[in-house]
Amino acid sequence: MKMSQILQKMELIDNFDKTFWTKKETVDENGYEQFRIAQRVAGSENSFKYAVIDSEGESKQVVLRGAQGKKDPLTSIANLMMKIKHTGEERLVEGIIVDDECVIYVTV
């Protein structure tokens, strides 16, 4: 199998625990913001904390839950769109769009 065939088969959803995340077939950018990941830190089990910079240059801390083990699901991604849910002091990632793929967090 050629490397190009392997790369074509990988989808964004493959990087997430499908118990918590699902792929949306249509991409709707409503409610999403553009971000650049500046720093990544492993959080508690199956979560990651990111320092991100929004389109206005503001830095924010966000938490992504539902990773597959200790592997960063956004490891090779620098620019993306995210839907953020504010819960008290935390900003939780509820949706991610990269290119033409969209995944959303499903409350269990």
Q: How far apart are the first and last CA of the chain?
A: 37
CB 52 within 8 A of CB 82: yes
pLDDT of amino acid 42: 86
Q: Is residue 14 part of a domain?
A: no
Question: Helical H runs in the chain?
Answer: 3-9
> Domains in the chain: how many in total?
1
Q: Is residue 97 part of a domain?
A: yes
Q: What is the CATH number of the domain that holds 68?
A: 2.40.50.140
Q: Alpha-carbon distance 102 to 18, whole Å?
A: 13
Q: Is residue 21 part of a domain?
A: no
The residue-averaged pLDDT of 76-89 equals 94
CB atoms within 10 A of CB 76: 9
Q: How far is CA 69 from CA 3, 20, 56, 60, in A?
A: 25, 13, 33, 24
Q: Is residue 12 part of a domain?
A: no
Q: What average pLDDT is seen over the chain?
A: 89
pLDDT of amino acid 9: 58
pLDDT in tens, 7-41: 555 788 998 999 999 999 999 999 999 999 999 99
Q: How confident is the model at residue 85 (pLDDT cuts 50, 70, 90)?
A: very high
Domain that holds residue 45: 29-105
